Amino acid sequence: MTVERLPRQFFNRPILQVVRELLGMRLVRLEDGQRLSGRIIEAEAYRGEEDLGCHAYHGRTARTQVMYGPPGHAYVYFTYGMHWMLNFVVEAEGFPAAILIRAIHAVEGTDIMAARRAGQPPQHWTDGPGKICQALNIDRKLNGCDLCDPASELFVEFDEPVPEASTTIGPRVGLYSVPEPWKSIPWRFRVETKPFLTTEHAEITE
């Protein structure tokens, strides 16, 4: 089966639609031809200069420049003095909007991820935005990376979409000092944890 990278057209649409459809898709990181990948199970939308939770509320700066660029690129930033965060730039060029990838379910290259997430059990390899970047070796070198360039080392492949009924929506995480309504606006999307299963079985399966 031939799997294709999601085209720029996919990212060049209203952000909430893109976030919703990203669930289940496969994030792929290539390192010397080695594939590290996982299905996206949680993501959040950050949209426009009015959104006080979005870095672009400062306007265009050296850091947020990528968010104003064309869709389908990676916006990778550093925070809390130690963690990298991976985002996808979406919507039209000139308008700042990005999707934070918060959690993936590891599929390929899990031995390498396990080594980088030393001491952590599988369920904690990639269940946070900083953890994903640690497991997949994503840092400032990938900021601005074109996800739609056939030669790029970071991209998204089509995989089985997640049914609407399996998606839960809620407020974004970690915006402690952001004023309302932005603090509570329901722009966080995640694949619902299946009930009646223990944590170690509550994962996406084919």
Residues at the interface with DNA (CB under 7 A): 44, 46, 53-56, 58-59, 61-64, 67, 75, 77-83, 85, 87, 98, 100, 117, 119-120, 124, 128-132, 134, 172-178
Minimum distance from residue 18 beta carbon to DNA (Å):
14
21 vs 158 by CB, closer to DNA: 21
Q: Which DSSP category does 12 fall into?
A: S
Minimum distance from residue 105 beta carbon to DNA (Å):
15
93 vs 160 by CB, closer to DNA: 93
Name the E strands within 48-134.
Answer: 74-79, 83-89, 97-108
3-state secondary structure of 148: coil
Taking the C-alpha atoms of residue 21 and residue 183, their distance in angstroms, rounded to an integer, is 23
Minimum distance from residue 167 beta carbon to DNA (Å):
19
The residue to which tokens 């509550």 are assigned? 202
The residue to which tokens 């104003």 are assigned? 68
Ramachandran quadrant class, 64 (left: phi over 0; alpha: psi -120 to 50; beta: rest):
alpha
97 vs 162 by CB, closer to DNA: 97
37 vs 64 by CB, closer to DNA: 64
